[in-house]
C-alpha cells in the first residue's frame, strides 16, 4: 500500500503538524518562562527593596529615638544634679569604691535602673568633663577609668568621648548637634566584646556639667533587622560596618555572623565582604543578584546607612532560588506539561495525517487503477467502490472524490461510444484502404512509361479522394503500332466501385488484344457490364487508339468529359463528339467512333470530372473555363509538364478544402516517327527458319554498305542478328508452325535502331532466363552467353511485350563514314 | 565457311573465311575434330578473314581447346578483327583462350 511510502504525504503532514505544534509550544514556553522570570525578579527585588527601605527607616528611627531619649535624660534636672554630684564626688577623690561614692551611687541606682529599663539601654555612664567614668549602673571594670587616658581611649566610648568633646566646641552641622557615636568596637571591660556607645553632654544652661553615655542595645537593632516579614524562608536583613564586620546579628548564620562572633573572628569567616556590601559601604545603593557571605546566590537590595558620619551597609537579601522558586515551579510545570503534550500531539498529528492521507491514498489508488484500466476490454472499471467514505467528506478531498467518480462514469461512457464509433470507422477505413489498393494496383504507374520511344510520350497522375471514387486510366500497346489510351470514372465510391473499375478495365484490355476499334470494344464491354449489373453501377469511359506511326487516333466517348488537343501551333481543340451513353447501364448499345489526326508536336489531354468539379473552401467549382484558360494560355514542353501544371492548378484552387472526388489527368505528346531524322530504313519479314538469318545479314550488309556504316558496327549487328534470331527461332515457338519475325532497322544520323519482333511466347532476352525453361544445360549456357554478348555489344537494348508480340529494340551509336 | 589448312612443322594452321556463327560453327567443329583425330596437337586458327564470331562459334573454340588440352596439345587463335576481338573481350574468352595478334606471333615458340 502506498501509505507506507517513505516520504509520502502522511509522513510530511505528520512532520509538519507535529513540528509546528512542538516548536510553537517551545517558543511560547520559553517566552513565557523568560518573561515570568523577569517579572518575578522584578517583583522579588521590589519586595526586597521595600523591606530594605523599611529597615533603613526603622534603624534611623531607632537612633532618632535614642536621641530623643538622650534629650529627655540630659534635660532632667535630677540627672543634671546627679552629674554635678558625680563630678564633685569623683573630683574630691572619692573613688568608686569609697563610701561617699557608694552613697551617692545608691541614690542614683534606682533612678538609673528605671531609666535603663525604660529606655532599654544596656548601661548608662556618667562621665566627667575630664573623661572619668564617674558612675555606671552596671559595676564593671570600666567604672572609674579615665576614657582618654587608658585602654578605653581606642574603644567606642573613647571615640564617642572625643567626638562629644569636639561637638561642645564645634557642634555638628547635621542631625543632632552634640550627640556623639562610637561604632562597635571591642570593649575590654566586657572581655573585648563589641560595644557601641552614644554620648552626649549634660548641660545646665551654658554650663557643661559632664557627659553621659550609654551602650547601644544591640537587641534593639536586632529586633529591627531580624524582623523577617516579607523575607520568605531564606531572606534576611542585616547591617555591616565599614570594617565588613556585622552590626546586627544574621538570621541565617547566627553562629558565625553575629556581631560578637564577627568581632572575635575574621571578615571571611564572620563578616560580610561581598560585592553588595562593598558597594553599599562605598556609598552606592542598589539591587543585584550576588553571591552572599555564604557563597549562595541571593537577590540583594543594599543601601548605605549614614550614622553620625559612620557609614554602615544595610542589606536585604533573599536566596535566589527562593525568589525564583515560583518560576522554577512554573518551569517544571511547563516541562511536565510539555512532556505530556508531546505524545498527545504526536498521536493527534498521526491520526489527523492518516485520515487525510488515507482519503487521498484511496483516491490515488482509484486514479491509478483507472489509468491502468484496459478500456478496450469488456470489463468496466471498478475503481470507485472503496471511495464511499471519501466521497462523503465535505471538504476539498470530498469534492475531488466526487468529481473523480463522475469523471470515471463519463469516461466509461465516452470510451464505449468511441469504441463503437472506432469499430465502424475501422471497418470503413479498412474498406477504403482495400478500395484504394485495388485501384492503384491496376494502374500503370511507372513513368516514363516508354523511355526509349521518341515518337510519343505519355504521362498520367491519379489522386484518389479519401473515399475512393473509382477513377482509372490505362494505356498499352495493342500491337506494335496501335497504342490504346483510356480514362474512366466509375459511379459510386468504395470497394464496389473499385471492383467494378477492375472488371471494366480488364474487359477493355482483353478485347483490345484483337479489336482495334474503340467503338467495337466499348460496345462489347458495355454489354458484358450491363448484363450482370444488379447494382446499377456504370462507368464513363473515353477510349482512344493512336497509331503511333501515322498519328491517326480513333476514339469513342461514352459519357465522359471531352478531352482536349493542344496543337503544336498553340490552338486548343475540344473533342466534343459523344458516341453513346455511360457504359454498363443498358445492354445492346452500339457505340460509334470518330477519328482525329495528331500531328507531330501535338499534345492530347484526357481527364475526369474530379478536375472540373474540384471545390474550394467556399464550395466554388474549378470549372471547365478555368481549365480551358490554363490549356490555351500555357505552352507545354512535354506531356509530363502538361499534367503537372493542370494538377498543380487544381491543388492551388482547392486550397484547404478536402478533395471531393478522384482527380485523373492523362496526357500524350506526339512527335511522330521521324523525330530524329531517319536517314534510312530497312524492313524485313523473315520466317522462323535458321537459313533466314543469313538473308537478314545479307540485306543488312547491303544497307550498311549503302549508308557507310563502319565495318565493325556492321559486324556487331551481324552478331546480334545471329544471336537473337537464333534464339527466337529455337525457343520462341511452342509449335511447328511458320511464324513471321519482323526485323526493322532504322538508321538515324548517329545511331542504328534495330527492332526485332516475334509473336512467340513472352520472353525477355535481356532479363533473367525464365525458370520454366526446359533447355538442356549446354544450350542454356550458350543462349545466355550469346545474349550477354548482344547486351554488351550494343549501346542500348530494351524489351517490351506489346500485345502478342515480343519486341526487342537494340540501339548502337554509330559514326557514319564521311562521303568522299 | 571455308577452311584453308596448312601444316608448318608440328603446327596445323587453319584459316577460316566467312562467319563463325550458329550455322557454320558446326562445320568448323567437325573440321577441327577431324584434324585432331588425324593427329594434330598444335592448332592455330587464323580468323583474319572471319567477319564475326557468335556465341556458337565461341563454344566450338572452347570445345576444341579442351579437346586439345586433353591430349597434351593446345589451341592458338589469331587475326581477330575489331568486332571479333570485342566479342572475345566481352565474353572473357580472351583470357581463356590463347589469342595472338598475327599468325607469326601465334607460330612463334609454338
Is residue A58 classed as helix, strand or coil in its secondary structure?
Answer: helix
Picking from B52, B59, B90, the nearest residue to A718 by CB comes out as: B52
Cα distances (Å, whole numbers) of residue A402 to A92, A93, A366, A372, A399: 126, 126, 12, 20, 5
Q: By mean pLDDT, which of A226-240, A321-335, A566-580, A594-608 is the weakest?
A: A321-335
The pLDDT score that the predictor gives to residue A1 is 47
Fold agreement between A446-674 and A677-813: no
User: Could you give the C-alpha distances from A659 to A333, A614, A625, in angstroms and in order?
Assistant: 89, 7, 20
* Helix or strand run (H / E) with residue A371: helix A325-372
Q: Could you identify the residue written with the cell 478500456?
A: A375
Which residue of B22, B84, B90 is in closest CB contact with A690? B22
Termini Cα distance of chain A: 107
Write out the H or E segment, with its range, that includes residue A635.
Answer: none
Q: Are B58 and B25 in contact (CB under 8 A)?
A: no
Residue A673: its pLDDT value, please? Answer: 63
pLDDT value of position A675:
53
**Tens digits of residue pLDDT in A728-774:** 998 888 888 899 999 999 888 788 999 999 998 888 888 755 443 44
Out of 1.10.3470, 3.30.2390, 3.30.450, 3.30.2310, the CATH code matching A221-326 is: 3.30.450
First to last CA, chain B: 26
Query: Which superfamily is assigned to A446-674 in CATH?
Result: PPM-type phosphatase domain (3.60.40.10)
pLDDT one-digit tens code per residue, A168-216: 888 888 778 889 999 999 988 888 889 999 999 988 888 888 898 888 9
Residue B16 and residue B47 in contact, taking contact as beta carbons nearer than 8 Å:
yes
- pLDDT score recorded for residue A779: 52
Answer whether B23 sits within 8 Å of A716, measured CB to CB: no
CB A557 within 8 A of CB A540: no
Contact status of A775 with chain B (Cβ, < 8 Å): no
User: What is the per-residue pLDDT across A600-656, written as a single tens digit (0 to 9) for each?
Assistant: 889 999 999 999 999 999 989 999 999 999 999 988 989 999 999 999 999 999 999
Provide the residue-wise pLDDT of chain B in tens; the chain has 110 residues.
889 999 888 899 999 998 888 888 889 999 999 999 988 889 999 999 998 888 888 888 988 888 888 888 999 999 999 889 988 888 888 888 889 999 999 888 88
Residue bearing the bigger pLDDT, A431 or A572: A572
pLDDT greater than 90 at residue A557: yes
- Residue-wise pLDDT for A492-509, tens only, equals 777 788 888 888 999 999
Q: Total structural domains in chain B?
A: 1
Are the beta carbons of B91 and A788 separated by less than 8 Å?
Answer: yes
**Bond before A448 cis per omega within 30 degrees:** yes
- Element (DSSP H or E) covering residue A810: strand A805-813
Between A691, A693, A789, which is nearest B87 by CB?
A: A789
Mean pLDDT over residues A89-113, rounded? 79
Distance CA A152, CA A653 (A): 144
Question: From CA A577, how far away is CA A267, in angstroms rounded?
Answer: 150
Spatial distance between the Cα atoms of A234 and A256, rounded to a whole number of angstroms: 16
Record: contact B23-A690, CB cut-off 8 A: yes
With beta carbons less than 8 A apart as the criterion, state whether A539 and A501 touch.
yes
Half-sphere exposure of A347 (CA within 13 A, CB side): 4
Residue A139 has pLDDT above 90, yes or no: no
Identify the CATH number of the domain defined by range A677-813. 3.30.565.10
pLDDT beyond 60 at A288: yes
A377-407 confidence digits (pLDDT tens): 777 777 777 777 777 888 888 888 888 888 8
Parse chain A into domains and list their residue ranges: 76-216, 221-326, 446-674, 677-813
Q: Rounded to whole angstroms, how far apart are CA atoms A131 and A408?
A: 121
Interface probe for A, chosen from B20, B54, B80 (most Cβ of A below 10 Å), is B54
Q: Do the beta carbons of residue A580 and residue A558 sit within 8 Å? A: yes
Phi/psi at A447 (nearest 5 deg)? -130, 145
User: CATH code at B22?
Assistant: 3.30.750.24
- The whole-angstrom distance between B107's CA and the closest CA on chain A is 26
Lowest-confidence region among A133-147, A240-254, A536-550, A604-618: A133-147
More confident residue, A87 or A702: A702
The pLDDT > 90 percentage for chain B reads: 33
**Domain span holding position B9:** 2-107
pLDDT band at A5 (very low <50, low <70, confident <90, very high): low
B106/A492 Cα distance (integer angstroms): 79
For A694, which residue in chain B has the nearest alpha carbon? B23
pLDDT given for residue A191 in this prediction = 86
- Tell me the average pLDDT of chain A: 86
Which residue's entry shows cell 577441327? B32
Contact in structure between A185 and A196 (CB atoms under 8 Å): yes
Please name which of A627, A619, A612 lies closest in space to residue A655, comparing C-alpha atoms: A619
Instruction: Kindly state the average pLDDT of the residues A109-127.
Output: 87
Residues of A in contact with B59 (CB under 8 A): 782, 785
Residue for grid cell 589469331: B78
Interface of A with B in 414-473 (CB under 8 A): none
Query: A710 in contact with B at a CB cutoff of 8 Å?
Result: no
Task: Compute the nearest-CA separation of A791 from chain B (Å).
Answer: 10
Q: Name every chain A residue with its beta carbon within 8 A of the beta carbon of B21.
A: 693, 718-719, 722
Q: A94 — phi, psi (to 5°)?
A: -80, 110
CB A785 to CB B91 under 8 A?
yes
User: Which residues in B lie closer than 8 A to residue A718 (C-beta atoms)?
Assistant: 19, 21, 51-52, 83
For the entire predicted model, the pTM comes to: 0.43
Q: Do B51 and A715 touch (CB under 8 A)?
A: yes
Please give the average per-residue pLDDT across A407-413, as a whole number. Answer: 83
- CATH match of A76-216 with 3.30.450.20: yes
Angle of helix A9-75 relative to helix A99-119, nearest 10 degrees, comes to: 140
Amino acid at each position: 500500500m502506498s501509505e507506507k511510502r517513505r516520504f509520502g504525504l502522511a509522513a510530511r503532514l505528520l512532520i509538519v503538524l507535529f513540528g509546528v505544534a512542538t516548536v510553537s509550544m517551545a517558543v511560547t514556553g520559553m517566552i513565557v518562562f523568560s518573561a515570568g522570570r523577569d517579572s518575578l525578579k522584578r517583583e522579588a527585588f521590589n519586595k526586597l527593596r521595600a523591606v530594605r527601605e523599611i529597615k533603613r527607616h526603622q534603624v534611623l528611627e531607632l537612633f532618632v529615638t535614642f536621641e530623643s531619649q538622650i534629650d529627655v535624660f540630659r534635660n532632667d534636672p535630677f540627672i543634671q544634679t546627679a552629674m554635678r554630684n558625680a563630678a564633685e564626688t569623683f573630683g574630691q577623690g572619692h573613688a568608686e569604691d569609697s563610701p561617699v561614692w557608694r552613697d551617692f551611687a545608691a541614690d542614683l541606682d534606682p533612678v538609673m535602673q528605671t531609666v535603663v529599663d525604660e529606655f532599654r539601654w544596656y548601661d548608662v555612664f556618667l562621665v566627667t568633663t575630664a573623661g572619668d567614668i564617674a558612675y555606671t549602673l552596671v559595676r564593671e571594670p570600666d567604672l572609674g577609668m579615665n576614657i582618654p587616658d587608658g585602654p578605653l581611649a581606642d574603644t567606642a566610648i573613647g571615640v564617642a568621648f572625643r567626638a562629644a568633646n569636639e561637638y561642645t566646641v564645634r557642634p555638628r552641622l547635621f542631625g543632632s548637634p552634640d550627640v556623639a557615636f562610637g561604632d562597635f568596637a571591642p570593649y575590654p571591660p566586657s572581655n573585648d566584646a563589641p560595644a557601641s556607645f552614644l554620648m552626649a553632654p549634660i548641660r545646665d544652661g551654658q554650663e557643661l556639667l559632664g557627659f553621659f553615655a550609654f551602650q547601644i542595645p544591640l537587641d534593639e537593632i536586632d529586633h529591627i533587622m531580624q524582623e523577617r516579614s516579607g523575607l520568605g524562608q531564606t531572606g534576611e536583613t542585616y547591617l555591616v560596618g565599614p570594617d565588613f564586620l556585622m552590626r546586627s546579628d544574621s538570621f541565617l548564620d547566627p553562629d558565625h555572623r553575629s556581631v560578637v562572633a564577627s568581632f572575635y573572628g575574621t571578615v571571611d569567616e564572620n563578616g560580610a565582604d561581598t560585592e553588595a556590601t562593598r558597594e553599599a559601604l562605598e556609598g552606592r545603593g542598589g539591587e543585584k543578584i550576588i553571591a552572599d557571605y555564604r557563597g549562595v546566590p541571593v537577590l540583594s537590595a543594599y543601601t548605605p546607612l549614614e550614622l553620625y558620619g559612620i557609614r554602615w551597609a544595610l542589606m536585604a537579601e533573599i536566596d535566589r532560588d527562593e525568589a525564583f522558586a515560583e518560576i522554577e515551579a512554573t518551569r517544571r510545570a511547563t516541562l511536565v506539561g510539555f512532556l505530556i503534550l508531546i505524545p498527545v500531539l504526536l498521536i493527534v498529528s498521526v491520526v489527523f495525517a492518516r485520515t487525510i492521507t488515507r482519503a487521498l491514498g484511496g483516491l490515488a489508488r482509484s486514479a491509478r487503477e483507472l489509468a491502468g484500466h484496459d478500456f478496450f476490454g469488456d470489463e468496466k472499471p471498478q475503481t470507485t467502490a472503496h471511495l464511499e467514505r471519501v466521497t462523503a467528506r465535505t471538504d476539498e478531498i470530498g469534492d475531488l472524490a466526487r468529481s473523480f467518480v463522475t469523471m470515471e462514469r463519463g469516461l466509461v461512457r465516452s470510451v464505449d461510444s468511441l469504441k463503437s464509433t472506432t469499430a465502424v470507422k475501422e471497418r470503413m477505413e479498412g474498406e477504403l484502404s482495400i478500395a484504394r489498393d485495388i485501384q492503384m494496383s491496376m494502374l500503370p504507374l511507372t513513368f516514363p512509361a516508354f523511355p526509349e520511344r521518341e515518337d510519343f510520350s505519355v504521362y498520367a497522375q491519379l489522386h484518389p479522394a479519401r473515399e475512393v471514387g473509382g477513377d482509372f486510366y490505362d494505356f498499352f500497346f495493342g500491337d506494335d503500332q496501335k497504342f490504346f489510351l483510356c480514362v474512366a470514372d466509375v459511379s459510386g465510391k468504395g470497394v464496389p466501385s473499385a471492383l467494378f473499375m477492375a472488371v471494366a478495365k480488364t474487359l477493355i484490355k482483353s478485347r483490345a488484344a484483337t479489336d482495334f476499334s474503340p467503338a467495337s470494344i466499348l460496345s462489347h464491354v458495355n454489354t458484358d457490364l450491363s448484363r450482370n449489373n444488379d447494382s446499377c453501377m456504370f462507368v464513363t469511359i473515353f477510349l482512344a487508339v493512336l497509331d503511333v506511326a501515322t498519328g491517326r487516333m480513333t476514339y469513342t466517348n461514352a459519357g465522359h468529359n471531352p478531352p482536349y488537343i493542344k496543337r503544336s501551333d498553340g490552338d486548343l481543340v475540344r473533342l466534343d463528339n459523344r458516341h453513346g451513353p455511360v457504359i454498363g447501364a443498358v445492354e445492346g448499345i452500339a457505340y460509334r467512333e470518330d477519328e482525329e489526326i495528331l500531328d507531330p508536336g501535338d499534345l492530347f489531354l484526357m481527364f475526369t470530372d474530379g478536375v472540373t468539379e474540384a471545390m474550394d473552401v467556399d464550395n466554388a467549382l474549378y470549372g471547365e473555363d478555368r481549365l480551358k484558360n490554363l490549356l490555351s494560355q500555357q505552352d507545354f514542353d512535354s506531356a509530363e509538364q502538361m499534367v503537372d501544371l493542370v494538377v498543380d492548378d487544381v491543388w492551388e484552387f482547392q486550397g484547404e478544402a478536402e478533395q471531393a472526388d478522384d482527380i485523373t489527368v492523362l496526357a500524350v505528346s506526339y512527335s511522330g516517327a521521324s523525330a530524329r531524322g531517319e536517314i534510312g530504313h530497312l524492313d524485313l519479314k523473315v520466317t522462323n527458319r535458321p537459313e533466314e538469318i543469313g538473308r537478314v545479314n545479307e540485306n543488312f550488309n547491303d544497307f550498311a554498305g549503302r549508308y557507310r556504316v563502319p565495318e565493325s558496327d556492321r559486324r556487331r549487328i551481324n552478331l546480334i542478328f545471329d544471336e537473337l534470331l537464333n534464339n527466337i527461332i529455337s525457343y520462341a515457338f511452342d509449335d511447328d508452325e511458320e511464324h513471321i519475325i519482323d526485323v526493322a532497322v532504322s538508321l538515324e544520323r548517329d545511331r542504328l535502331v534495330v527492332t526485332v519482333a516475334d509473336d512467340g511466347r513472352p520472353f525477355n532476352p535481356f532479363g533473367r532466363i525464365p525458370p520454366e525453361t526446359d533447355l538442356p544445360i549446354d544450350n542454356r549456357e550458350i543462349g545466355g552467353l550469346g545474349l550477354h554478348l548482344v547486351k554488351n555489344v550494343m549501346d542500348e537494348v530494351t524489351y517490351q511485350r506489346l500485345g502478342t508480340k515480343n519486341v526487342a529494340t537494340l540501339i548502337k551509336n554509330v559514326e557514319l563514314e564521311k562521303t568522299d | 565457311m571455308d577452311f584453308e589448312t596448312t601444316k608448318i612443322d608440328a603446327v596445323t594452321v587453319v584459316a577460316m573465311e566467312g562467319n563463325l556463327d550458329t550455322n557454320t560453327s558446326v562445320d568448323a567443329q567437325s573440321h577441327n575434330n577431324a584434324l585432331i583425330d588425324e593427329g594434330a596437337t598444335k592448332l592455330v586458327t587464323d580468323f583474319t578473314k572471319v567477319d564475326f564470331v557468335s556465341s556458337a562459334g565461341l563454344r566450338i573454340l572452347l570445345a576444341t581447346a579442351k579437346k586439345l588440352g586433353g591430349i597434351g596439345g593446345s589451341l592458338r587463335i589469331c587475326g581477330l578483327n575489331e568486332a571479333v576481338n570485342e566479342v572475345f573481350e566481352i565474353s572473357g574468352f580472351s583470357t581463356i583462350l590463347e589469342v595472338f595478334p598475327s599468325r607469326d606471333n601465334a607460330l612463334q615458340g609454338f
